[in-house]
Chain A
Amino acid sequence: MTKTILVFLLYACSLSAQAALDAAQVRQLAAEDSSDKVAAIRQLTQTADPDAVRVLQAMADDSLYLAGGKAVIIDGDKAFDAATGAAIRVPADAESVTVNNRIRGELANALAALKLFDADAGVRLASAQKLQSSVSPEMAPLLAQALEKEGDAQIRALLTVAHAQANLGNDDPAARMAAVKALSETSSPTIKSLLLPLTDKAGEPDDKVRYEAIAAVKAIDGRLALAENLGRVFSGLSLGSILLLAALGLAITYGVMGIINMAHGELLMVGAYAAYGMQSLFRAYLPDWIDWYLPAAIPVAFFAAALVGVVMERTVIRWLYGRTLETLLATWGISLVLIQSARVLFGAQNVEVSNPTWMSGGIELLPNLVLPWNRIIIVGFALFVLTLVWVLMNRTRLGMFVRAVTQNRPMAGCVGVPTARIDTLAFALGAGIAGLGGVALSQISNVGPDMGQGYIVDSFMVVVVGGVGQLAGAVWAALGLGILSKLLEGWAGAVIAKISILVCIIIFIQKRPQGIFALKGRFVE
């Protein structure tokens, strides 16, 4: 239906314009040989005649026929002469013009080029964008023409690149020179590959143009490398945020009680499964609000993990004070029980947790640098949790008590701080933060019973490097380790990066056994 209207409109336009195309050229569209057809399409495009759109569109729609030595357009029960656009009788001996894939591609380009002259800026922008990746040298004059007429700055920029690409094969060295100069401003790998032949003596006879091309390739390479490094720094930042989320809770429990909670990774798992549970609930009862399951999962995950933490503290850890190595073993036992419980409850396989739609996609900073939304949101979420913890620790009475117990437990007890209660609350807080970390993890990695195991070593490394009981230390250590490991990964591969980080940490501890930010004061072991 739209096709009919389109053809009809085009036909009406051509009637009013009274413009006729060269009949011989139009006839060649129906030639036997594909190369002849391509030549005809390119010639027709060069005329920049709006009437050509009508014929090429018909050809693309498979309604171009050959009848009695003339190209005709047949649309349902109507027929038109292709060259003039005049209505004629439907011929009996019409033969369809074959359009293969090569021709189809050529037609799409030609139509895009012709649409550069459309009155609507939106249509022009779309076609200019389409022409960024596929330009034939024959389009150069047409593009020059379009460029001359174009007023919109954004479209002009796109057209300049397209025009320069078309001109790379120009016979005139000056034109090639201008093209290379224009292209050196871009930063896409495709254009770099277009410029590469020109850096070679065989591909470019003119010395000046060749040197310019070499410089242009270098400039593009520099920008590509910059984007790559920026990308690495960003993924390091996002890894750092995840490490921070995983380590913040550990930093609190380790700082306050001096124990290593080996089940901390499993508290992350509890948070991730809470997100999975909320997703299932929303799917079942609130399918229209499914995108909002994630914000709803945040408090649920916090309290679920905090509850597990309180139970752990009250039933096991409480009885092992002063015996840190035994606590380590007991919490390892708890982690085994939690892992197996998750297997029994949810199955041994990973469960599927999908990103809400507002988290998919990303921001394209450069052609080869896309920052995914889910990573950006996790960085933001880590900041949010960090602020929350900071406020809690530094601006509330509970936080003051926690800091007091961290610094000097007997003295805090002497001045009336209920240390046993603070232990429980601090442990619950640490566990709850791990739960929040689990929600973040559920968005970027697999959710399964074993997911926590991989984080315990990493998050303890953050605590060790950062220094005990120090928020700032944890932040710097998490970001530093995240960015360092991503940079090393790009340079040496993931496993080597991990090993060298661990070696670095062992060496680092030689120099600063108390971490980056050591607690100052008198300590007896």
Chain B
Amino acid sequence: MRRPLTLRIIDSLDGKAWLALGVFLALALVAVPVLHLAVPEDSAFHVSTYVITLIGKIMCYALVAVAMDLIWGYGGILSLGHGLFFALGGYAFGMYLMRQIGRDGSYQSDLPDFMVFLDWKELPWFWSGSDSFLWVAILVVVVPAIVAFIFGYFAFRSRIKGVYFSIITQALTYAAMLLFFRNETGFGGNNGFTDFKRVLGYTVTSPETRLVLFGLTALLLAATLVFAAWLVKSKFGRVLAAIRDAESRVMFIGYNPLWYKLFIWVVSAVLCGIAGALYVPQVGIINPSEMSPANSIEIAIWVAVGGRGTLIGPVIGAFVVNLAKSWFTVSFPEYWLFFLGLLFIVVTLMLPQGLVGLWKKLTTRKEGAAA
């Protein structure tokens, strides 16, 4: 008899991992709000708005990295188009945020400013319902899922894989970027959406709203990690890993790889979409450059730096690379690309298992020496 789902979920992480997760959530949901709101600004323990925005943003990225790891680390499929799903989720939620501006825009119109600027008289059909939070929340999940399903179905059905698949996903996000750059597409052209005022009636920039968004992101990241841990340990996860390692053999045993790949691909896209939706209100802008091929390929390096095929790796990678990015772009802007480029080269050449792999190697060597 199979064990109940709750038990299986609890078993998917070991005691140490649950402890780490608990500490993380306690920090994000209790310590950070208290340090931000209750501790005076001049205190050394005060957590500034800048830090909250930065960490909140990086947690969204970490969510994307985990999604990427699910298909790359566990499915062996390298997508260079995940920025598209991230941006789609962001744009879907951005529509709601634009509608929440109401008549407070610079043209005092019911329409978003950029539509007034284009001399449009009414909302295009795909904007209908965008003033309802619930509808937009559905869009955030469904739009990336549909795009991923259609694209994935055709790509996996004709057994496109390896670098072919990577490049075609890159072309996909590139085409979408060109599309969203057009003013006529109806998503604000190259300025995208910005100048948000409210979310669910609360001011978007108030400390409380920020903290709620921050906490939500942390919760979602934790939930995703638990879900992913359960998923990769389930039978599905094992078939997926088998497909990654020897697709033909799995086919000959009688599994159809198409549905396994397609499922993990759509799940990954949906996670990216949700991350995008959380990202937009925290950062305050979404524009087509989020879909640029360079952004999507950067996601891959977060996963590679942390260590793919592990779940904590992508989170570590997203934090390390993005903290380095914020530090470099402030202190040495002209060296950032050198650093990023060398990171790509060094990680692929010397750290195929990423930082997690390096850590494991160091600890096992120590144990070996002790024994």
Contact = CB atoms under 8 A, between A and B. Distances in A.
B301 A329 contact: yes
Size range of the chain B interface in the assembly: 35 or more
B348 A320 contact: yes
Q: Which interface residue of B163, B170, B179, B297 has the most chain A CB atoms within 10 A?
A: B163
A339 B337 contact: yes
Nearest to B336: A340
Contact of A464 (B78, B167, B300, B304): B167
Interface string A324-360: 1111111011111101100110000000000000000
Given A260-B163, A457-B167, A509-B158, A333 B175 contact: no
Interface stretch (B191-199, B339-347, B360-368): B339-347
Nearest to B344: A333
A22 B181 CA distance: 71
A509 B175 contact: no
B259 interface: no
Contacts of B78: 325, 328
Nearest to B157: A510
B154 A510 contact: yes
Nearest to B72: A325
Nearest to A324: B163
A498 B348 contact: no
Interface string B142-164: 00000000010011011110111
A455 to B, nearest CB: 12
Given A320-B349, A334-B345, A509-B158, A460 B167 contact: yes
B304 A329 contact: yes
A330 B348 contact: yes
A330 to B, nearest CB: 4
B205 interface: no
B21 interface: no
Interface residues of A, number: 41
A325 B163 contact: yes
B348 A509 contact: no
Interface string A291-333: 0000000000000000000000000100110011111111011
B338 A337 contact: yes
A17 to B, nearest CB: 69
Contacts of A258: 163
B103 interface: no
Contacts of B154: 506-507, 510
B210 to A, nearest CB: 33
A172 interface: no
Q: By CB atoms of chain A within 10 A, which of B168, B179, B181, B343 has the most?
A: B168
Contacts of A502: 171-172, 174-175
B248 interface: yes
Given A326-B348, A333-B340, A340-B341, A510 B158 contact: yes
Contacts of B13: none
26 contacts: A316-B349, A320-B349, A324-B162, A325-B72, A325-B162, A325-B166, A328-B163, A330-B348, A332-B297, A334-B344, A336-B340, A336-B344, A337-B337, A340-B338, A340-B341, A453-B294, A457-B171, A498-B175, A498-B178, A499-B179, A505-B168, A506-B151, A509-B160, A509-B168, A525-B247, A525-B248
